[in-house]
Amino acid sequence: MSDAPESNEDGGRPGSERTRTMPDIAACRAKRCGFDDYVECLVPDPYPCQFALTFGYGCFCRHPQRAEIVVQTDQGGPSVNLP
């Protein structure tokens, strides 16, 4: 048995008030990391997002449309194909 605290459903520790939400995809910004299909989230405060995966000092994006978010970022605005 481990002494480490368990995580609750929203990824926070038990008793935390942190809730994870669906992002406003028009506000999402991301860039490719250069290996596999990993994408780095560029949003200033990505932690409330349910698709944010903290890693080291950064955050990966796991959104199913992350490739489109990268294109949106490269073009400087929201893509017309995104909901």
In the chain, the number of structural domains is: 1
Which residue segment(s) compose the domain that 69 sits in? 25-75
pLDDT of amino acid 18: 58
Is residue 63 domain-resident? yes
**pTM for this prediction:** 0.65
What's the confidence (pLDDT) of residue 49? 92
In a domain, 82, yes or no: no
Residue 20 forms part of a structural domain: no
- What is the pLDDT at residue 65? 93
Q: What is the pLDDT of residues 14-69, one digit of tens each?
A: 444 557 777 788 889 999 988 888 999 999 888 889 999 998 888 999 999 999 99
Report which residue type is found at 19: T
What amino acid occupies position 54?
Answer: T
Answer yes or no: is 3 within a domain.
Answer: no
For residue 2, tell me if it sits in a domain.
no
* Position 80 in a domain: no
Flag whether 51 is in a domain: yes
> From CA 82, how far away is CA 45, in angstroms rounded?
21
